[in-house]
Structure 1
Amino acid sequence: MNAMTLSLFGDILDKLNTALLVQDRYKLILTGLKNTLLMAVFATIIGTLIGVIVAVIKYFAQGNKKLTPLGWVCDLYTTVIRGTPVVVQLLIWSTVILTGIREALPIAIIGFGINSGAYVAEIIRAGIDSIDKGQTEAGRSLGLNRIQTMRLIVMPQAVKNILPALANEFIALLKETSVAGYIAMHDLTKAGEMIKNNTFDGTALFVVAIIYLVLVVGMTKLLGLLERRLKKGDLRS
């Protein structure tokens, strides 16, 4: 290593030391990472539950006059949520609807969960529509009602078809949590910004970017393993 390389390496170490170790600034990163993971996990759970319910309602509302109004409500929900920016939705939840909640974390979880639910609903609906109608007819011919046919025959096949799209949605949700700072949420991105403002140096933002990258790559690898296991299961059956 020549002198220039050593000097550059030393400069990077100094910047990292200032950004993370001086005044224990790494604790800001750890707190932000914890909050980001909490938002992503619980928003994913809420979004999945909402998505399944909305997709199933829209499926059963087809050709059923009693459920048609519910189908319209679900269509309105997906249209409004998918047609407006998530940042604006968060601000509405924080400053208009959930003003009685002072903590930013639950507001962020609710906001991101409801936002994700609209996208998950459309993904699941498309997955249900991708299943051959003959599968439903076969279930009904075996004496199953529509709900049993959906739960035992259609939905398990749909999940396998939509897994890649769901994985992309969950990864996108993780990255979207970076805008939670707009409602004074101490997330990972906000932590990096706070350190940058204190040190007048952007090194912490590079650290934040690397953490996001590791999380996304790790999730992608895990979901890839799950997909391969599901494919092996199909081959064995």
Structure 2
Amino acid sequence: MINPLRSEAEAFKFLIASIVYFGAIVIATVAGGTWVGLGVFVALTAGVLWWWWQARRDERPAQTTPRPHAAGERRILVVANETVGGHTLRSTILEKSLDVREEVLVVTPALNSPIRHWTSDEDGARAAAQKRLDQSLVQLAEAGVQARGEVGDGDPLQAMEDALRTFGADEIIISTHPEGRSNWLERGVVEKARERFAVPITHVVVDLTRENPPQASPEP
């Protein structure tokens, strides 16, 4: 089953909107009677349906084409959050970098809770993303891949678009958790990226549970 609320932020907004919606109807009914409440219900429902129609119409933006770059280079844009240090992702980057003069940019979106996002309290999220990114860049360097990185927008699609404005990627690698554990897959990030960006996109699934199984405690 596909969850129509594709992120924690969307679920939080839906909860607030539902409280306002039903609260307005109840207040109107108590203050003005049944017919006033019915009128408010009809007006609010019409407004919600109009907003939904507008959102559906604007759901597929025009494709974004990255900036060109010098011939002979292969530029790879990697977008990953918690899976940025995964072995599967590093192996894919190494494979894509073989026998070419590559330039790799790793972008880690600064994911945040809805409340902290709305209050512009993003310092903790950016610090955590930067720490994961730094560890990943060290591991890539040890594997022979020289990459640079940056912390991106909390929305992975916006983070990709921001990066493509200055980084002429030949390919985008999107790394996620397995299906059922990935918020990005629930939100359809990979499919939307393929619709939105005019470059090949590789989806890499990183199962951190399998890559880093819990260590058994030593016998006393």
TM range (shorter): under 0.3
| TM-score, normalisation: structure 2 | 0.23
Q: Which has the higher helix share?
A: 1
